[in-house]
């Protein structure tokens, strides 16, 4: 048995968190995953400026399913004022029970502005942002956490200072992706860095990176001493991973190997939930991106895959799914295999000019965009 994760008054049992992923972890997908097993399912990242200024796109992303009793949102921000105001809005107007702050995104359009994975280099600015969020959430009893990476590159590591600052500013926990910004999603996650952070702070540390199976989550926690895990790419096309995680953390490790017919049923459920929240036409368009992940490793032919990637209605989806062989077993070769974006390491990390010259940035003002959907 694995102990529950406690974030202030919020208990997460099992200590499993769905990582916010842009365009993926909407209300429909969060419900689909929650139907498989308990955990904390975080809304895709929104920008604090977009929320404060009433941006329509931001508001559309802040949709919750009727079954979501615990509303969790990841917030992006580079300005303490915006972050504090946005946190207060989430608590007061949206009834969230948890706010996570993103300092792990390695995408150039984010880092070139001084945000995401490069912001923790400015220790003073990071502290001001965290202080603003915690102060805004405290009157509502809402815990604030942060997610980050090891650092910009191996010569500019920030995770230990980030953990110290998170603890000093009153954060309830910190999640660490065991890669640097320059690595992106390439290579192998450094679980040793997660163990190092666990040893350095008293607040709970969540581990992230290379959790493809429930056994990986148990191995990470055993290796690092982490209080829980954050799962991102590992659940793409495999929402039943949360069923396996719940079982493994309860002491009953299993590996769900659904037939293609069972996967097709999951695909249909996913599209159905999207339709509830978006309407059928838009839902089918949104669902197309998931086809390749669900069918990865199965023998479904190229023509059928192509047709599924162009689906326009639930009726058409039903007709196409009916053409799959429901008895085809799950491809064992996919167990433990990486999913989602990977690529190679970047040549460098795009940052504002002179960003590395000062490691404090207490008085720095970083212009914040209203639209920067991404993840970390």
180: its two tokens? 């640097």
Strand partners, 150: none
Task: Considering only the C-alpha atoms of the chain, give the largest distance between any 2 of them, rounded to a whole number of Å.
Answer: 62
pLDDT computed for residue 344 by the predictor: 72
How far apart CA 273 and CA 235 sit, in angstroms, is: 17
Is 105 assigned a catalytic role?
Answer: yes
pLDDT computed for residue 197 by the predictor: 98
Helix (H) or strand (E) holding 103: strand 98-103
| Coil/strand/helix, residue 208 | strand
- What tens-digit pLDDT sequence spans the chain (376 residues)? 899 999 999 999 999 999 999 999 999 999 999 999 999 999 999 999 999 999 999 999 999 999 999 999 999 999 999 999 999 999 999 999 999 999 999 999 999 999 999 999 999 999 999 999 999 999 999 999 999 999 999 999 999 999 999 999 999 999 999 999 999 999 999 999 999 999 999 999 999 999 999 999 999 999 999 999 999 999 999 999 999 999 999 998 878 899 999 999 999 999 999 999 999 999 999 999 999 999 999 998 889 999 999 999 999 999 999 999 999 999 988 988 788 766 677 788 999 999 999 998 888 888 787 766 555 5
pLDDT computed for residue 371 by the predictor: 66
Q: What is the pLDDT of residues 159-187, one digit of tens each?
A: 999 999 999 999 999 999 999 999 999 99
pLDDT computed for residue 363 by the predictor: 81
- Of 249, 245, 259, give the one whose Cα is nearest residue 212: 245
- Of 10, 61, 58, 48, give the one whose Cα is nearest residue 133: 48
| Full DSSP string of 15-71 | -EEEPP-TTTSSHHHHHHHHTT--SEEEEEEEEHHHHHTT-HHHHHH----TT-SS-
pLDDT computed for residue 301 by the predictor: 87
Domain ranges of the chain: 5-251+344-357, 260-334
How far apart CA 38 and CA 247 sit, in angstroms, is: 10
Residue 214 CB contacts under 8 Å (≥ 6 apart), including other chains: 241, 244, 245, 247, 248, 253, 254, 255
pLDDT computed for residue 86 by the predictor: 98
Omega within 30 of 0 (cis) for the link into 255:
no
pTM for this entry: 0.94
370: its two tokens? 């209203």
pLDDT computed for residue 376 by the predictor: 57
Question: Are the CB atoms for 176 and 148 separated by under 8 Å?
Answer: yes
pLDDT computed for residue 375 by the predictor: 55
User: One of 43, 91, 105, 171 is an active-site residue; which one?
Assistant: 105
pLDDT computed for residue 372 by the predictor: 61
Q: What is the pLDDT of residues 275-327, one digit of tens each?
A: 999 999 999 999 999 999 999 999 988 899 999 999 999 999 999 999 999 99
How far apart CA 176 and CA 166 sit, in angstroms, is: 12
How far apart CA 281 and CA 314 sit, in angstroms, is: 9
According to CATH, the topology of domain 5-251+344-357 is TIM Barrel (3.20.20)
Mean pLDDT of the chain: 94
> Is the backbone of residue 119 left (phi > 0), alpha (psi -120 to 50) or beta?
alpha
The CATH number, out of the four listed (1.10.1200, 3.40.190, 1.10.3470, 3.40.50), of the domain defined by the range 260-334: 1.10.1200
């Amino acid at each position: 048995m694995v102990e529950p994760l406690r974030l202030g008054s919020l208990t997460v049992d099992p200590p499993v968190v769905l990582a916010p992923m842009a365009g993926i972890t909407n209300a429909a997908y969060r419900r689909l995953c929650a139907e498989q097993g308990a955990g904390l399912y975080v809304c895709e990242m929104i920008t604090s400026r977009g929320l404060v200024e009433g941006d329509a796109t931001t508001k559309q992303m802040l949709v919750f399913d009727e079954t979501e009793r615990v509303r969790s949102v990841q917030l992006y921000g580079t300005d303490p004022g915006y972050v504090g105001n946005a946190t207060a809005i989430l608590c007061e107007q949206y009834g969230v029970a948890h706010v996570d702050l993103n300092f792990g995104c390695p995408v150039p359009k984010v880092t070139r502005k001084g945000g995401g994975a490069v912001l923790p280099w400015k220790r003073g600015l990071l502290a001001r942002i965290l202080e603003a969020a915690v102060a805004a959430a405290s009157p509502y009893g809402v815990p604030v956490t942060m997610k980050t990476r090891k650092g910009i590159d191996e010569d500019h590591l920030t995770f230990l200072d980030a953990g110290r600052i998170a603890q000093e500013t009153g954060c309830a926990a910190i999640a660490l992706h065991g890669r640097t910004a320059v690595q992106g999603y390439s290579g192998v996650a450094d679980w040793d860095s997660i163990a190092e952070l666990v040893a350095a702070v008293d607040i709970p540390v969540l581990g992230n990176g290379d959790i493809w199976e429930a056994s990986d989550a148990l191995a990470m926690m055993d290796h690092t001493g982490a209080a829980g895990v954050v799962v991102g790419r590992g659940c793409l096309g495999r929402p039943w991973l949360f069923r396996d995680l719940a079982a493994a953390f309860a002491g009953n490790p299993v590996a769900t190997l659904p037939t293609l017919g069972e996967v097709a049923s999951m695909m249909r459920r996913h599209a159905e939930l999207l339709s509830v929240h978006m309407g059928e036409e838009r839902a089918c368009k949104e669902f197309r991106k998931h086809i390749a992940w669900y069918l990865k490793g199965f023998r479904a032919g190229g023509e059928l895959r192509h047709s599924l990637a162009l689906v326009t209605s639930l009726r058409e989806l039903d007709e196409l799914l009916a053409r799959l062989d429901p008895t085809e077993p799950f491809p064992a070769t996919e167990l433990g295999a990486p999913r989602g974006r990977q690529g190679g390491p970047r040549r460098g990390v795009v940052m504002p000019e002179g960003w590395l010259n000062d490691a404090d940035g207490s008085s720095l003002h970083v212009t914040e965009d209203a639209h920067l959907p991404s993840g970390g």
